[in-house]
Structure 1
Amino acid sequence: MQATGKRLIQYVGNVALADIQNATHREAVSTFCAKIEQENPRVKKAEIKGSQPHKSHDDPEDKLNVISVRFKDDVDIGLGTAHVHEDGTGKVRWNKWKK
């Protein structure tokens, strides 16, 4: 029998997943983070940067509200930042030298 490759991303920082008040956005962040963890084996941790959806400061073209998430490796080196939309879509901006 072969073990599955399922991992569990660790949420770190001052904002817990449960702190996101909008249940739909909370589920979207959880699903998005799990997907990124599976796609990039260096991703071990997710740091949610706020519990309230907001307009992106980094991407003025994005008209949807986002929750910002910073992805880190096992020794807390930042790998990239994501903006997750309520519908589960999102964008990740990887640090070019850390990807």
Structure 2
Amino acid sequence: MRRNCNGIYSALEQIRKRLSEETTYTEGVSEVPEGEDPIRWFLTEGKEDNDVYYAETAAEAFRAYGILTRYVEGYYLSGDDIHSEASGINKLTGAGE
């Protein structure tokens, strides 16, 4: 996968192009068959999934190009969110607004 790559922007362009041509974005999460590698399954069988699979796939592709990559996910709680809860307790969920 390293062919025709002359840096991070070239790699990014090739990764985006390949993912847009071969996969479909969806907000849902596909169930990966037991024993299957999730990223391999996403790219070869599932062909559609959410942003987590795109981010993990892109990170692996950058690594294949020799570009150091770290993938991190988490939650964001703003200062306004913290101060708006009268009880002083905030509940973080995976639900979007």
TM category (shorter chain) comes to: under 0.3
Name whichever structure is richer in strand by fraction.
Answer: 1
The normalised TM-score by structure 1 is 0.26
Larger radius of gyration: 2
The normalised TM-score by structure 2 is 0.26
Name whichever structure is richer in helix by fraction.
Answer: 2
